[in-house]
Amino acid sequence: MELLRGKPKERMKKRRWLLLAVSFLTAAVIATVAIPPVRWRIHLVALKATGQIQDLSWGEMVHSMVHRGSTFNATYLLKTKDPYSAIFAPAPTPASIRAGRELFNQQCAPCHGEDAKGGFAPNLTKGNFSHGATDWALYRTITDGIVGTPMQARDLPAERVWQLVSFIKDSRNATTLNKGINGASSPGLSLGIDPTFEHLKAAADNPADWLTYSATYSAQRHSRLSQITRDNVARLRLKWLYQFAQFTRGGTECTPLVVGRYMFVTLPPGDVWALDTRTGEKLWSYSYPVSTPVKNTPVHNRGVAILGNTIYLGTLNAHLLALDAATGRLLWDVAVADNQDGYGITSAPLALGDKIVVGVSGGDFGIRGFVDAYSPVDGKRLWRFYTVPGPGEPGHETWGQGDSWKRGGGSTWLTGSYDSDLDLIYWGVGNPGPDYQGDVRPGINLYTCSVIAIEAATGHLRWHYQFSPHDEHDWDSTQIPVLADAIFQGQPRKLMYFANRNGFFYILDRTNGKFLAAEAFAKQTWASGFDSAGVPIQRPEGHPTVGGSIIYPNSQGATNWWSPSYDAASNTMYVPTMEGSDVYKKGPAVTMDYGNYLGGSATFGPTWTAVRALDAATGRLRWEYRFPPREPSIVMGGLLSTGGGVVFGGDDSLMVALDAGQGKELWHFNTGAGIAAAPITYLVDGRQQVTLVSGMTVLTFSLDAK
């Protein structure tokens, strides 16, 4: 009986221990899920154990997770399962480069020559790495060697391998070696193709590179570089050129990006070339395969964005691509919209810290415009803001009672600007559809022909200002919003300057969108002024009619995608300007066979073009430079101002350098083809260069061609 009574007690005791064990395991599982450092490590181990992560040994993985001697991006590795896009060399320092150089000359120079300049093994300073040029590819080549060659595996501590990688990258990107070795920081980001969000935010202070479409997030397109001045610009000579093998109709409108030795240039439908900034030699190229004919979209591509070692590119068929910046290898490809519905991407994306922001073209083809943000890691869409509000959204009431909003236009086909302190993205919005006929869309048609301020974190609208309510002239407001901290009427303000296609120069408070001032910078006959809220007072004769109305400016606008430039030192805004009128005719709203959604027509009249320097505080003209007469055209080039007191620009095939203070022509060059892009400037081996894409050619200039 005692034995019988004891068994239940033993069972109770075992049950208690079992409950304790289950509770412990449950707590461990909860801790694993709840604690991110534990969770991502377990996830990586699982991926490695199942063979999903290649080219990363168990020892290398454990070392990276525990010691973190490299820049180890666990998020990238989890998403891409590709160590080549997730593991980078530590941030280089003069000391690490010096140590890498010494080690290289001890162990590698017998084959590759002193300072990697070549012996019977390749010259590594040319950057031609047949086994991969990413940081991790260089690391693995050093540690594993190359079978069948004298390149043997190296048994070195990880820290020493990364020092070698830092030195090789420094040599590859043509850093001024003596400066680096002596401890002075080299200009720009020439230590590697890896500009971070912090680099992009500080781009104005590091003018050796050109890191985003408008040079900086403020979109001022002004460089502090001053080696080329008013006094010596006449010595500019062509240093090198690169001519694309294929021809694209419509010409090139690309603004190249420059990071160290690498220049990135684009052509439609989605092609990228990486060129050597020293020689123009092609380093790699990528051509996007378009499987079906592109519908509707204008045949243009205006450039790329860069973040880390990844290039981001939009395509004519409305895809967003990520490419390895060192090799051109495709990392991911996402569809932003359906090209068969008229959508495309012709603008350069805007790269922020954890977002790639992109707009769409197709406003004349009955689309509903938007601005998107995507993850730079895997292309996942993070948010979308529609520029034409749908039912239940603020602003929908401005489209009348029908379904006009569904084909309302509002494209977003130029790159915006960004204020990192306010965390606001500013983007210009295109015109409503159909062109020239507003009866089918009664109301002011928000948010077309506006500038919008979007919260970068959420995609929510903070404020908007509409330049041309109920536009009937095809006056997109996709021009570049230029940001400046300046004095307005005696008070420091966070301002936005906006030279609009409708002929007015606007000054807004960029914190809240408040209208401060507007001044016509070109001839216009559609508005007599503005009310106190900044709403334009439109003239009755400023609308298209069935019989035709002559209205200034023409349908291409007083300015367009042609980038302006702003010099904060002189508080001067430089604006590419076109003067001319159209005969605007109103007609029925129809969809053409080729896709255009139109409500009339505009007959292009005679035009002439100029660079105009405006007092940014008032919008009043300071000086004007007129380009020579040429055939009627809808294009001209953008502008660049520099710390040397020079403004570069172009029209037709004439590239010019102007005195920034007076507008006097100091230098010119006939490019032999149409200019529809904007020039850039940067440093190579410590010398200032200027590059412009004209026709199908990349032209690069320097003083005395040195």
- CB 360, CB 367: distance < 8 Å: yes
Q: What tokens appear for 406 in the block?
A: 């569904």
Closest CA to 219 of 436, 463, 427: 427
- CB 235, CB 227: distance < 8 Å: no
**223 - beta bridge partners?**
642
Q: Which of 419, 474, 476, 567 is catalytic?
A: 474
- CB 388, CB 362: distance < 8 Å: no
Q: How far from chain centre, in Å, is Cα 188?
A: 18
Count helices and strands in the chain by DSSP H and E runs: 10, 38
User: Tokens 């603020």 sit at which residue?
Assistant: 394
Round the CA-based radius of gyration of the chain to a whole number and report it: 29
The CA distance from 216 to 613, in Å, is 21
The CA distance from 504 to 519, in Å, is 5
What's the DSSP call for residue 542?
Answer: G
The CA distance from 220 to 640, in Å, is 9
User: Measured between alpha carbons, how far apart are the two ends of the chain, in Å?
Assistant: 106
Residue 107 is inside which H or E element, if any?
helix 94-107
**How many angstroms separate the Cα of 392 from the Cα of each of 369, 389, 395, 402, 461?**
17, 8, 9, 14, 15
Respond yes or no on whether the N-terminal peptide bond of residue 207 is cis (omega within 30° of 0).
no
- CB 342, CB 317: distance < 8 Å: no
685 is catalytic: no
CA 652, 230, 188, 497 dihedral sign is negative
Q: Which residues are catalytic?
A: 474
